Amino acid sequence: MVKLTIFNALFDEGDINLVVDTSVEGVKVPPYLDGKLTNFILGNVSSPRLLADESGVTAPLRFGGTRFACYFPWPSVRAMISRKAVVNFPNEGEKEDEDKPKDDPPKLKCIK
């Protein structure tokens, strides 16, 4: 899974800002965030019990002083932003370029 590999590489370097489409089936977030494109900051300090596996990311996050067990399946993750890279992922329903093979990994943009 490309997203898991990229997530692990970026997370090893520090905090990650995940851009998540909370309207995707299976996403678990506080109700007021349902149906929105939302940013979530994940890091060793802010989410110490984070778990990333083949299906997605589970992280207990704090919202207004209350912890919520969030879950982001990989299809809901639209971008990953770290201090070293910005990685955008196409929406699962978007048409791909016809001349581009479907197995190509997303393009990485390095930040200097």
Residue 28, pLDDT > 60, answer yes
With CA atoms as reference, report the closest residue to 46 among 59, 33, 27, 32: 59
**Locus of tokens 């596996």:** 53
Q: Which residues contact 12 (CB under 8 A, 6 or more apart)?
A: none
As a whole number of angstroms, the distance between CA 6 and CA 72 comes to 15
Q: Are strands 85-88 and 66-73 parallel, antiparallel or unpaired?
A: unpaired
55-88 per-position pLDDT tens digit: 999 999 989 889 999 999 999 999 999 998 999 9
Q: Residue 4: in which H helix or E strand, if any?
A: helix 2-13
Q: Do 26 and 56 contact (CB within 8 A), yes or no?
A: yes
Task: Name residue 80's beta-bridge partners.
Answer: 18, 87
Fold of 2-93: SH3 type barrels. (2.30.30)
The domain limits of the chain are 2-93
How much of the chain exceeds pLDDT 90, in percent?
62
What is the structure's pLDDT at 46? 63
Q: What is the pTM of this model?
A: 0.79
As a whole number of angstroms, the distance between CA 75 and CA 66 comes to 26
Mean pLDDT, the chain, rounded, equals: 86
What is the structure's pLDDT at 101? 52
Q: Which residues contact 93 (CB under 8 A, 6 or more apart)?
A: none
